[in-house]
Amino acid sequence: MQWYGDISQSERRTLWSCFSGWALDAIDTQVFSLVISALLATWGISKGQAGLIGGATLVAGSLGGLLGGILSDRIGRVRALQLTVVWFSLFTFLSAFAQNFEQLLALKALQGLGFGGEWTAGAVLLSETINARHRGKAMGVVQSAWGFGWGGAVLLYTIVFSWVSPQWAWRVVFALGLLPALLVLYLRRNVEEPPRPKATSAQPGKKPGVFAIAAGIFDRSVVRTTLVGGVIGLGAHGGYHAITTWLPTYLKTERHLSVLGTGGYLAVVIVAFITGCFVSAWLQDRIGRRLNVIFFALCCVVTVNLYVFLPIGDTAMLILSFPLGLFSAGIPATLGALFNELYPQGVRGTGVGFCYNFGRIVSAGFPVLIGHMSGSMPLGAAIGIDAGVAYGLVVIAALLLPETRGRRIDAATASAARGGSSSSADPAPAARG
């Protein structure tokens, strides 16, 4: 963490504001999975209905990420971050007053719009504020906030459900979701908006429309970046969902392992995720974005196939959970820096939002495909094949992009989209971390 002493006070304030927003976002989002049992008992809803709420939240989060990117290009990074934090906090709070399944479904979907937009706005804000030498490390550290928030959700759930009866405890947990909105007060006082380019149109001072901003990422100068970046997002999320959706079912139903439901397993996964983000944060500023993504993608393929083909028991599974969680965290911890460095400032938020969230939406097909494939082959083999295909897409797409480490993104040009070298890349050794 020596690099932390090299950044300015303004950079530190921005770093911690984005870290806090993402951690609080994770608390509000992850707590739902912990209160499902209470909802099943209180309302008598089915597991399928509970799954529909979770799925609707994730899909809305992807749409929110797309909209959040456009919004940050339209009204500014800090204002977009403020709006999205207030949005997801408000609808988490309102979820506490839902009276039936339909109301909770609608409120959680609206909450998802906010948490998806918050990541995009925060990632762009941080990338434009932090020094190019340390951008990868800062983005990786912020990504680790999800793990800390996940742990915070478990702690909050444990405390509230220890003191309040289950039929009311889940409402208390959701009501506390309003607290992240207080972060906006800090943002307004301490975080500065990155400089924006001056208007060069025939009508100086007039902001481009929403549709014009959205269409900008398909301009001829950057469309290649948009398409290749979308494939990386698809592969990264497809591999992750293939593993997290079906691997627990495989290990529990076909391997009959019992450790999956224990607190020890959850603790290992959370710690592994945080560790993976920190390892990726350090590594991507040393070896570059492309090589880092390729390294973690290949490690994910190897680890998941060890899971599904080795005859492992509870202890071995628990040990293997750590490298699997670590490697799966390494890719998303790199994408924030990589995607931001590929786009010019005017469409950066929109481009980052698209590349990251397009993949989240389309990747829903990977778990479905595994379900179909398992009808004609063992479930473990289907998981291994799908994860291999998904992460293979990441490797191929990464090879089609330029290396962006150390790039001064305020001067990023269209040459990045064409796969060539950019004059905005900082060739100095310091830029390599």
Q: pLDDT tens, 140-180?
A: 999 999 889 888 888 888 899 899 888 899 999 999 888 87
186's CB contacts (< 8 A; 6+ apart) are 17, 20
The answer to whether residue 63 scores a pLDDT higher than 60 is yes
Q: Using only the alpha carbons of the chain, give its radius of gyration.
A: 21
List Cα–Cα distances, 130 to 192, 209, 381, in angstroms.
12, 28, 43
SS3 string, the chain, reads CHHHHHCCHHHHHHHHHHHHHHHHHHHHHHHHHHHHHHHHHHHCCCHHHHHHHHHHHHHHHHHHHHHHHHHHHHHCHHHHHHHHHHHHHHHHHHHCCCCCHHHHHHHHHHHHHHHHHHHHHHHHHHHHHCCHHHHHHHHHHHHHHHHHHHHHHHHHHHHHHHHCCHHHHHHHHHHHHHHHHHHHHHHHHHCCCCCCCCCCCCCCCCCCCHHHHHHHCCCCCCHHHHHHHHHHHHHHHHHHHHHHHHHHHHHHHHCCCCHHHCHHHHHHHHHHHHHHHHHHHHHHHHHCHHHHHHHHHHHHHHHHHHHHHCCCCHHHHHHHHHHHHHHHHHCHHHHHHHHHHHCCHHHHHHHHHHHHHHHHHHCCHHHHHHHHHCCCCCHHHHHHHHHHHHHHHHHHHHHCCCCCCCECHHHCCHHHCCCCCCCCECCCHHHHC
Residue 371 pairs in a beta bridge with none
Cα 106 from Cα 161, distance rounded (Å): 25
Question: Which phi and psi (to 5°) does residue 198 adopt?
Answer: -70, 150
The answer to whether residue 123 scores a pLDDT higher than 50 is yes
pLDDT at res. 280: 95
pLDDT at res. 296: 95
207 pLDDT tier (thresholds 50, 70, 90): low
Mean pLDDT, range 179-208, rounded to an integer: 67
The answer to whether residue 427 scores a pLDDT higher than 80 is no
pLDDT at res. 197: 59
Mean pLDDT, range 348-356, rounded to an integer: 91
The answer to whether residue 34 scores a pLDDT higher than 50 is yes
pLDDT at res. 195: 76
What domains are defined for the chain? Answer: 10-191 (1.20.1250.20), 213-422 (1.20.1250.20)
pLDDT at res. 414: 35
Question: Which phi and psi (to 5°) does residue 289 adopt?
Answer: -70, -50
The answer to whether residue 284 scores a pLDDT higher than 90 is yes
CB burial readout 312-340, b (16+ within 10 A) else e: bebeebbebbbbbbbbbbbbbbbbbbbbb
Most confidently predicted of 77-91, 274-288, 347-361, 370-384:
274-288
Mean pLDDT, range 361-382, rounded to an integer: 82
The answer to whether residue 431 scores a pLDDT higher than 60 is no
The answer to whether residue 199 scores a pLDDT higher than 90 is no
250's CB contacts (< 8 A; 6+ apart) are 308, 379, 380, 383
159's CB contacts (< 8 A; 6+ apart) are none
pLDDT mean across residues, the chain: 82
Higher pLDDT, 119 or 195: 119
The answer to whether residue 231 scores a pLDDT higher than 90 is yes
Angle of CA points 119, 108, 232, to nearest 5°: 35
Most confidently predicted of 35-49, 265-279, 307-321:
265-279
Higher pLDDT, 206 or 396: 396
86 pLDDT tier (thresholds 50, 70, 90): confident
Higher pLDDT, 137 or 409: 137
